[in-house]
Amino acid sequence: MIKNILVDLDDTIYDFRKAEKIAVKKTLEESGLRSEEEVLERYHVLNQEQWKLLEKGEVTREQVKVQRYANLFREYGISKDPKEAAMEYESNLAIGHYFVDGAEDFLEKASKEFDLYMVSNGTSVVQHSRIQSGQIGGFFKEIFISEDMGVNKPSKEFFSYVFDHADIKKEETVVLGDSLTSDILGGLNFGLKTIWFNPNGEENHLDIKPDYEVKSLEEVIPLLRSSSLSSF
């Protein structure tokens, strides 16, 4: 029987893609630089590449923050200092929040039936600011942010840290998140059941097989209640 849900934050509860786009746009415009759709989309791709390297342990978090801008500026011939841009971006990203469809309702209902634990790979100051902005901290028993912990998803060390600090059992816990390479892989490697939140119906071309897949957060609670989870 599932009693605990390890819930990812970005693109599971908060619409990070939207927040990222707005923050990057502001960062570029504040520096007098262009912020056309092409540039914003290219930043997103370069950012994802850096986060994948972080997940593999090939770069540090500080390198991610700066290198994504260094790569973008190099491609577009921008002379601005990428370290300065990285700091401006974090300040812009920390302002406000945007919920994924159904996220508020999910948190309210799920927190009444299950113990929720936030598990995020985000930057500490940014995530804490956004959590406070959205007033969602009260829905979670504990909040685990990788920068505070010193380890990142999908490492076993990340999940070991969570279980060392939360009084929960593996057989009573499920991971809910949008990232196959972070949330799902990390959960599977640690011996946890997983639910892949895939609202856009993306095809899974990876050798990472979540136990369950949902397209909306509305599906999660009925799934956890169902007899199909008797093997959990």
Share in percent of the chain as helix, strand, coil (round to 5): 55, 15, 35
Q: Which residues of 212-222 are buried (b: 16+ CB within 10 A; e: fewer)?
A: bbbeebebbbe
Q: Are strands 173-177 and 193-197 parallel, antiparallel or unpaired?
A: parallel
Residues 11, 130 contacting (CB under 8 angstroms): no
Catalytic residue among 8, 115, 178, 183: 8
8 is catalytic: yes
User: 């630089």: which residue's tokens?
Assistant: 33
CA-based angle 146:149:155, to the nearest 5? 60
* Positions marked active-site: 8
